[in-house]
Amino acid sequence: MKKLLIIPLITLSSFVLAQKIDKLFDEQKFEEITSLEKESSSFTGEELYKLGFAFFRQENDDKAIEYYDKALQKGFNNAIVFYHKGLSQMYQKKYDEALKNINIGLESAPLAEFYFEKIRIYNIKEDLVNQEKTFLEALQKSREKDNWYIKIVLFGGSFYYNKKDFARSEKIYKDAIAILPKEYELYTKLIKSLNAQSKFSEANSYFEKMRILYEKKELPEDEMKFKNLNVDEFNWKNQVVNVHKYFEKPKEMLAPLYVLYLIDEEGKKVQRKFKIEKTLQIERTDSEFVICEESQGGHTTYPIGFKDENFTLESLRKEMINILNGKYEAKDSSKK
């Protein structure tokens, strides 16, 4: 009779332990899971994986890999095990082994998250060829169009943008927008890619779509807060000038149409700040907008103007470079 009771008791104990592990895992109480390591001999393959992941979350990659391997030995061959084993190996700087395991995971589960970490490894290895190959494959084969997929789109678009291959950058963003029309960050990147090719009219058509969304208060928090969109950038010597366009059309004097930031050579902070502001028109031939600079010293206006708001970014870039090169002196200055 005692022997007959042993099996049900063991089964019940295993069931209770499994429930406990599942509950702790769902609640992300990883330290409590790792405290159960002494009982791991009775764990199922999936439970061993969860124990390994708990060690991973505690930054113990050696232990994580140990239990991922035990999970595989018990037949839990889920793609997620290979992926997380590869992730731990990446943090151990065992990049080739990491790629091998992530690739095994991708064979059965072509998930954007897996692809993204694979791209990250090639980025660490400074392997541009395989970075490009991987993100192009990911854009085509990723099963789910989730946040990881968006990260890959942004990476791929930036990859080509930084290489000044703006047409390919444009295509990546357009293809992604067709799938994810409410991912508004993609519109910003697309607008910059179009403006970089001097496709000002098309870029402006996308900006107008964003303006409508702004008026409906449907844009992300940052765009709603700052009331503008980063639409362009250009280089001056070893520095970058970022160009932001305001959603609200200027109606009052001093209301801005654009704000421009000259970033320091290290790319860490704003060195100078300029605005394209509405000014007083006495005659019809007078400029409606002028270039001003804001600094601790006050508000400076340059003797450069634009007849109306329809000037191109090309002309704005030209005049800004002239100012930065010292071609124009301040026309007037007033303390704020």
105 lies in some domain? no
Does 333 lie in the same domain as 286? Answer: yes
The answer to whether residue 187 sits within a structural domain is yes
Query: Do 320 and 248 belong to one domain?
Result: yes
253 and 327 in a single domain? The answer is yes
**Per-residue pLDDT for the chain (336 aa), expressed as one digit of tens each?**
444 434 443 443 555 566 778 888 888 888 988 998 898 888 999 999 999 999 999 999 999 999 999 999 999 999 999 999 999 999 999 999 999 999 999 999 999 999 999 999 999 999 999 999 999 999 999 999 999 999 999 999 999 999 999 999 999 999 999 999 999 999 999 999 999 999 999 999 999 999 999 999 999 898 899 999 999 999 999 999 999 999 999 999 999 999 999 999 999 999 999 999 999 877 777 889 999 999 887 889 999 889 999 999 999 999 999 999 999 987 765 544
Residue 233 and residue 222 share a domain: no
Alpha-carbon gap, residue 153 to 138, rounded angstroms: 9
> Does residue 214 sit in the same domain as residue 260?
no
| β-bridge mates for residue 232, sequence order | 243
Element spanning 21, H or E: helix 2-26
Lateral strand order in the sheet of 289-295: 228-236, 239-246, 256-263, 270-278, 289-295, 298-306, 332-334
Q: Do 257 and 221 sit in the same domain of this protein?
A: no
CB atoms within 10 A of CB 316: 23
Look up the domain containing 318 and give its range: 228-336
Residues 6+ apart with CB under 8 A from 100: 86
Q: Are residues 263 and 195 in the same domain?
A: no
How far is CA 325 from each of CA 109, 240, 273, 320, 329, rounded to the nearest angstrom?
54, 14, 15, 9, 10
The reply to whether 257 and 294 lie within a common domain is yes
- Whether residues 233 and 313 share a domain: the answer is yes
**Cα–Cα dist 214/217, whole Å:** 5
Mark which of 177, 199, 226 sits at the end of a domain.
226
Same domain as 265, residue 232: yes
**Domain count across the chain:** 2
Q: Which of 226, 247, 267 is the last residue of a domain?
A: 226
Q: Is residue 184 part of a domain?
A: yes
Q: Considering the domain boundaries, does residue 218 fall inside one?
A: yes
CATH number, domain with residue 180: 1.25.40
**Integer-rounded Cα radius of gyration of the chain:** 28
Residues 265 and 183 in one domain: no
Of 170, 196, 226, the position where a domain reaches its end is 226
- In a domain, residue 250? The reply is yes
Q: Is residue 284 part of a domain?
A: yes
Residue 92 lies in a domain: no
Q: Are residues 192 and 274 in the same domain?
A: no
